Structure 1
Amino acid sequence: MAISKLHKFRLALFWRLFTNYFIVILVPVIVASFLAHVLAVRTIEKDAEKLNDVVISHFSKQTDTALDSLKTNMINMLSSSNLTGVLRVIDDSRENQQRAEQFHALREQLMKLQSDKLVSKVFLYFANRDLVADVDIYTDKSYYFKMSYPLGDQQKRDYLSRFTGKKMMDITDSSSLGMYAVMSYPFNTENPEVYLVVHFDQDKLKEQISIPEKWVTGTAIATSQGEILNQNGLTEREVKAVLAHTRANAMSSQFLVTDEIAMSLVKSRFNDSWYYVTIADLRTLMKPAYITRVISWAFLVFFLVVGSFVSYYLSRRWYRPVQEITEENKELSQRMSGMVPLMQELFVTKILQGEYKDELSIAYYAKEIDFSYDKHAMRTVLCIAFHYNSEVYEKLSETTKSFMFVEIKELIRKSTPSMVWFCQTKPDMMACVVTHDAFLHLGADEAADVAKLVLESYSQYFKATIGIGKTVNAAEELHESYDQALSVLQNRGLDADVEICRGPLVGERTQWESFLSVQEVNRIFNQCKTREYDKLLESVCEKLEEGRHKNATAMQVKYLCTDVLNTWIRAVETEHNDFNVPFFSSLYVRLHSVMTWDELKQCFVEIHRVLFRTEEPDQRTKQFSEILAYIHDHYNEELSIEYFAGLLNMSSGHFSRTFKEAVGEKYVEYIAKYRLMKAKQFLLETDMKIDEIAEKVGYWGRNSFIRTFRKYEGITPAKYRSMDH
């Protein structure tokens, strides 16, 4: 009897709990599921269709704008390129200088037009003259379409047949040549003088018309004549569907749905016969609606099952004391309290990185983690960048490193009277948010000085740089102060163990040139060819001393050092291929890891030792080294092969063969190339006349010098000088 009563009691308790659960929770869940099924799903379907319309509209406007911009650039180029002046001087053989200037200006205009992101090639086709000009060359039509832009005979006839009559950006699609546009000049004549031809970059055009939305499976530009000018991602079935609808008749924008595929067609503003087409997968587009429908029913079933189990469980476990639950909650609370400092640092990090930019979200999350702060206090962010001393720092254990940074934070916090927040934004970066104290006149500069004093006691482990951001009046503006502090850090130097960067901004600290000039690059190559390796290291050390004297920033010095290393590597590759890409990559990593002048100088000493290592020469190599040294010192004199052959007790023929085996070049060619190397140096670095340079480098006549220079360099000395200037 007692068991029966106990069973009834538990059953009654179960139904009582379940009834309460049904009234309080299940009824609202049922109503919500019904509304989601009836209203939300329909709303999502309408929104999906609207979203598709918005995306295709934006896509069409963006593409039209790009094409309109290209058309405007073509018109501006033809209007402002002084084609009239070019046409006037083409046939005038007496005005070579003026013609060269006119074509130079014309090529600059073509180069500017070719820089458009949708353009792959641009040239001018002169209808009534045997002339074609592009950004690299102007020449006759036969040569151009054979060498510069080779076309087959039939392909060329079809292509050139387009250049008749008036053209105002007539766009043609060719299966072999792709899309290209033609515009005639003068604009309003049926017999134009010039045609401007612009070939589209098919890949860039595909990128232009591509839409990154997952539910968009393909895009295309189609014409009312049933042509696909460009498409991205369309299947064969989708291409046929597009052609069928565009061939039907002239139509305005519309949205069609067939076999789980949604097709949107929007008429182009750029060309009335064009349509922009997008193909959307209805399953993907309407996926939120399907998911909402399934979730609403699953939600209802879930709550029904959960309610039953919860009611049953509570009815059986009702006898448990409330005190046990309280003790468990207390233990959980203690665990959470130990995580509060970590959560608060993470919260500050998100504020500095701009994830929370409004006052309401910051106040909400601060309340959630019990983070108290003054909403309108003046604050400044200090960014502390660390450059670790690998010889000392890497020997420490991870625990020791963690405790060391905890100790640094506590020392800075105790030494600063105002409130300070800390967070680790990067592995080598610590941010310090300082709250200004108007009563104590404590601001960012004073806090930075305090941090500097603390960090100096740890200088054996790292070099530290403190960047001071701007002062802001609200917590939601702290990301601006953090960004400026990072920008200021780029101006750090290479001297002090602990440095404070208060400004100026990047690029305003010094006007020191941080890249090698053309003359300096050529000098390095010449010194490598003549094996004057010691001078390479001396010039780098001089540059570093100059940078230290001018107080150059670490970024400027790194740019220069990277340029020097690039030039050294190029020079080494021309001599031998003993090194591979991973080795060169390790040199760049080594260079960018140093952060002091001494480290930088030692780094180049080590790189120089590896790249330009020398071996002890044997007797024959030593003899030829002395001969080469003599040639380098007396290159402007007559150097007879018989003279050197006699010194080594050889015949002229045997000496010539031995010289090539030892040096790698024939005796005559080596002397000629060395003289030309010196001549190029005089051409670039002096204003000496050609005759003077010819005599200076050992040639008896101007013509002999020019002939030899053209043989090895392919151009005349005067042309070489003008090109490099």
Structure 2
Amino acid sequence: MIRLHKPRIALFWQFFAKYFVLFLIPVIVAMTFTYFFVVRLIENDAKQRNDMMMSNNAEHTDAAFTALQTSMIHLLSDSNLKSFLPVVEGSPDSHQRNEWIHSLMDQLNKLENGDFISNAYLYFTKQDLVIDSETHNDKAYYFKYNYPIGEAEKAALFPHLTGKKTMFFTRPYTIGPNPLLPATAETAQTVLSTIMSYPFNSSDPEVYLVVDVSRDIMRDRISKKEDWVTGTAIMDSEAGVVVQSGAMEIGSAKAEKEKAVSSIPSRFNESWRYVSLVDLQTLLMPARMIRMLSLVFLGFFLVLGSAVSYYLSRKLYAPILEIKTGLATYREPDGTARREGNDFDVIKRFSKLIMSENDQLSRLVSGMVPMVQEHVITKLLLGEYRDAAALDACAREVDFVYDPTAVRTVLCIEFQYYSRVTEGQTETSKSFLLAELKESILKSFPGTTLWLCHTKPDILACVVHHEPASSLDPKAAAETVKLQLQPFASYYKATIGIGSTVRTIEQLPHSYEHAIAMLRYKGLHPEAELCGEERAKENRAPWDSFLSVQEVNRIFNLCKSRDHDTLLQSVFDLLDAGKDARAYEVKYLCSDVLNTWIRAAEDDRNDFSIAFYSRLFDMLNRCVTGDEIRQCFRDIHALMFRTTEPYDRGRQFAEILQYIHDHYAEELSIERFAQQMNMSVGHFSRTFKEEVGEKYVEYIAKVRMGKAKQYLLETDLKIDEIAEKVGYWGRNSFIPIFRKYEGITPAKYRTIYQR
């Protein structure tokens, strides 16, 4: 008899517990996962194959019915039928009438050549006449001998031959053999009929086209040869079976336990669905084998683990006891005793290292979460989430918390940078300005949930949540945002579009689209504007966005008389008259004026190209305010009606360069110098580069950078003060440009070179 000491038993259970935790549990989990994964894989694969085959069958069947519908429409729209209807009650001996009847019979014969069409006939409602591909008879004779159906079938069919019908499908019914033919000539067949009336939109049609579809052929079309497919069928909206292949026991307790139902809607008939019944027992047979093998392997690993644990407990008992005894008297440098000799300390040290790395990674991910959440809000506003489930799944992935039924309003802030800012600002500096604006807007709504995101490069969307206890309405929120835009009025013209207030998160795209639509009603004033329903509905004097014939003739007369100054003044008069008009209305009128100028100027000179005209329209479209439009027309006027350039151009540019060196801290607008030299902005820019050798913007930047370096090395001024002294609005616009030309920041430049 084997005698086990208590410490050895304890060691055995320790080894076995570790074996169980470190090996058996992962094995059990892996087996369980494998089992369910295989089951799911088999089910999904079977479902995909089943759906693919069903979709293929449904597609072919629907295509066949669509083709049948087209053929029926063509037949009913044919001129022969239209010509026959007026003479349908004519004499049977009429040669023309008989020709039309035979023509209709030929068309019916062509229709019957379809894959699953067994018969087709024309049923005339107001005459005792039925025509099929082989004969034409009165109704009583036709349905007794040519198309023999029982009284129950007649009671089910004839009520459908009234009223407007368009591809109406009857219930399946049986057509018996012709009583006049031998018994072996033909057998009874089950069909379902589709009915179409003519005239198509009439509630009292004159004729019905009835086409019989063979139920046996349709059964062959939808049948599947897979052993795990019990049966297939086409079912209507009332759960009635139209066509069935195989055994179908949908709805029984046995079917719900052992079968799986797959259903695909028909694209041709909305009341039809293609249904298949899958035998789960046959389908999951490989999974049952995997489960049995898993249990066998689990038992094997239990026995193996017990044997290994017993062997190790006997083998390692003495060394472990010796190690514990030796560590009992061991002292750490700090005086503490080390009682246990295992790998715990090593694992602990590594755990601390992993926790430290995980903490760094968490901080990195936390910094990216707001950007990802802003991307989710952008997609939400643009309507890219089709339903609430897709949004909820995405929100859980990025830890985006939202109330689906909160009351919200979308405000769209449109930024239109002035031309002088566009030339002097980089994309980086613009990003700093927008980041500063976002921070300012968020601080202005304490205690209110606010979402901000960029839906377009020039659109900042602001989603305001109306808390139940708050009295903040959309207009008040827009006014608050407008106050935060005032410090940035020197950079761009801002317009706030006020969207509709919605009560569910799925309606936010509608509020966003409404806010975007409101931006259309902005004006040409330089200050920030609010555009909402009140602005859209306000009563204004009518504004004609196009020149009258008299104005056009006046412009042509001024051009012919070379009274160019009056020509320019007339544009200013139009702008003064439309100072309260919408921006788009004024732009339309200005485009019409420019187009008239071009046509008038072409009478005197033809040295302008299409590219030149396109550039003029681009200059006009970039204008944001009424003052910019005025300056734009001055530039265009100088380009189109300018006189010869002054002779001493070099002296003029020398004076401009001297002015730049003397007034580098001021706003040096290129429009000012261009107007001074009677040039357009583009023409002045190209001439400046030819004369000076550098672009206008780069020359000014280098002059300012030279003065900035002098201030950095010779004074103790702060970076913000130096930025203002050299002509920049603040450090956010000064630092990126300094880094662009010097390669380092101003602070680092001062640290390196100042002594």
Q: What TM-score results when the alignment is normalised by the length of structure 2? A: 0.44
Please say which structure displays the higher CA radius of gyration: 2
